[in-house]
Every structure is written in C-alpha cells, then in structure tokens.
C-alpha cells in the first residue's frame, strides 16, 4: 500500500500502558495498512538531543492495528531517547509520521491456521495478523512484566526467560511443540536470535515461514541503504523489500 508523499502530523487520540509497553493511538483518516507494514515516527516538538543539537532520525515502528475509523495504533517500549520521547506524548499532541511503508505479510492459504511467533516488542505486527486472518499466538518475553503484552492477543501461549509468566523457556520451544502437533505456516517477528531459531524449526518441519525483520532505519524509503540484509539474490533493503521476507530467501 502506498504511503502519502511527505511527512504529516497525526494527533494522538489515546494512550495506555500495558506493563512496560505503551500503546499510542493516532488519527490517520483513510489510512490502510497490511499487517507487517510500519511508519516512521517522530514528535512534532522536542525531537532532538537539546538546544542547538541535530534532531533525532525518525523511528521505524510497526503498525499494531488500523481500525476502520482511521485510528492507527502502535506499540512502543522505552529503549532509548527517541522511543522515550515518543512514549512521553500526551493525548492532543502531534506525531509526525510517514507511512504506511514496506512490504507486509501475505494472507495465509485458505484453510490454514498460521502460528504467530513473537518476541518482546516484536509481537506488535502479529496483533494485526491475528485480527486479519486468525492464528495461534506463541509469545516470548523476558519476564512477567513484559508478558503483559500477551493481553493484546486472543488465547496466546506464553514463555518467559525467568518463568515468571507462562512457562519457563524459549518461544522456539513452544513452536517446536505446535509444529509437531499441527504444522502450519509460521509468521514471526522478534530479535534476530529468535528469528534464526524459528527459521530452523520451520525448515525442519517443511512449513513456510515469513519473518518480519527488525533493522535500524534512517529514512524508510530505501534511499540510505542503512538497513540492508543478505539474501540468496544479493542484498535487499528491509524498508522497501521487507520488512517481511520469506525465510527461504534469506542467506
């Protein structure tokens, strides 16, 4: 789906906290996005290190969902100065946005139930996948506080590193069990180590696997080549050729 040209101001209409995460909802009338697409976000004010300093680059943030009334929602966590400034926004303030951008997930084949594997903040685009096409969420978090993100899903299975919520262990272990019982297409988003494990398990069971990659982005339009990833056909830009890739094409 093609984004409107240029950056535009979106008014924040709702904000809520879910454990350490923050959901920001903004009004973007007429917007549509495929699950897995993203926006480049900044704040309209105080977007930089301080007086006389260069502004921050926009932050690439996955679309968590877009509702029919033009309400677009994002899931964020404070992991640095840019995301910290975004989650400080209050209702009525403006986001500066470019999007939706990138190539999202394709719909699963009719009659199949996808397995949705998410790690940490990477669960965000899988909310949109489940709402669009269904699927069984398998979610991994570092601890019980972060596992609050599972509230965004219907009937999730949860694993945590410390066992303080769900079962103790890795989300890839949940995936292995589910694939043994009922193999289905795998959609995943999360940290690189998790995606590598997911890819290996999907390959071992002979099922398709689509991965939404996380990469630092400066522009979101493919101009800077700062987010390239190696594929069997050479390097590709995560922002325009992805962020969703068929696992089989990744080197």
Write down the domain spans for the chain: 8-101, 115-214
Token couple for 120? 């940490």
Is pLDDT above 60 for 142? yes
Please determine, for residue 44, whether its predicted confidence score (pLDDT) is greater than 70. yes
Spatial separation of the C-alpha atoms in residues 21 and 177, rounded to whole Å: 28
Cα(59)–Cα(100) distance, rounded to whole angstroms? 13
CATH code 3.40.50.80 for 115-214: yes
> What is the third-level CATH fold of 8-101?
Elongation Factor Tu (Ef-tu); domain 3 (2.40.30)
Q: In 165-233, at which residue ranges do the beta strands (DSSP E only) sit? A: 167-168, 186-189, 209-212, 228-231
- Whether the pLDDT of residue 41 is over 60: the answer is yes
- Helix (H) or strand (E) run with residue 75 in it: strand 71-77
pLDDT tens for each residue of 235-245: 999 999 999 99
3: pLDDT confidence band, cut at 50, 70 and 90? low
What was the pLDDT predicted at 223?
Answer: 86
Burial class (CB in 10 A: 0-12, 13-18, 19+), 203: middle
Q: How many CB atoms lie within 10 A of CB 177?
A: 10
What is the pLDDT at residue 30? 78
Beta bridge partners of 74: 24, 63
162 by Cβ neighbours in 10 Å (0-12 / 13-18 / 19+) ranks as exposed
- The 10s digit of each residue's pLDDT in 170-219 is 999 999 999 999 888 999 999 999 999 999 999 999 999 999 998 888 88
Q: How far apart are CA 235 and CA 104, in angstroms?
A: 18
Give the strand pairing for 244-246 and 234-237: unpaired
pLDDT, residue 114, reads 96
Angle between helix axes 171-181 and 192-205 (nearest 10 degrees) is 20
* The two structure tokens encoding residue 113: 């139930």
8-101 and 115-214, same CATH topology? no
Please tell me the pTM assigned to this model: 0.92
Q: What are the pLDDT digits (tens) for 65-123?
A: 988 778 999 999 999 999 999 999 999 999 999 989 999 999 999 989 999 999 999 99
CA distances from 212 to 187, 191, 198 (A): 8, 10, 12
Q: Please, which pLDDT band fits residue 251 given cuts at 50, 70 and 90?
A: confident
CA 139 to chain CA centroid, nearest Å:
13
């Amino acid at each position: 789906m093609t984004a409107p040209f240029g950056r535009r101001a979106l008014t924040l209409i709702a904000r809520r906290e879910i454990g350490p995460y923050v959901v920001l909802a903004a009004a973007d009338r007429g917007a549509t996005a495929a699950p897995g697409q993203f926006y480049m976000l900044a704040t309209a004010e105080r977007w930089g290190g301080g007086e006389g300093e260069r502004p921050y680059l926009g932050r690439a943030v996955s679309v968590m969902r877009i509702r029919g009334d033009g309400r677009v929602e994002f899931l964020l966590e404070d992991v640095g100065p840019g995301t910290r400034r975004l989650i400080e926004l209050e209702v009525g303030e403006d986001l500066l946005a470019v999007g939706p951008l990138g190539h999202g997930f394709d719909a699963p084949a009719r009659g199949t139930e996808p397995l949705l594997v998410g790690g940490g903040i990477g669960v965000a685009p899988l909310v949109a996948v489940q709402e669009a096409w269904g699927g069984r969420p398998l979610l991994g978090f570092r601890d019980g506080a972060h596992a609050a993100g599972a509230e965004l899903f219907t009937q999730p299975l949860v694993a945590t590193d410390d066992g303080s919520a769900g079962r103790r262990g890795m989300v890839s272990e949940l995936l292995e069990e589910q694939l043994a019982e009922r193999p289905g297409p795998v959609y995943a988003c999360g940290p690189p180590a998790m995606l590598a494990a997911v890819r290996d398990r999907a390959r071992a069971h002979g099922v398709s696997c689509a991965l939404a990659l996380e990469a630092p982005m400066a522009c979101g339009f493919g101009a800077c080549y700062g987010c390239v990833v190696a594929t069997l056909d050479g390097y590709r830009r995560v922002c325009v050729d992805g962020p969703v890739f068929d696992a089989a094409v990744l080197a």
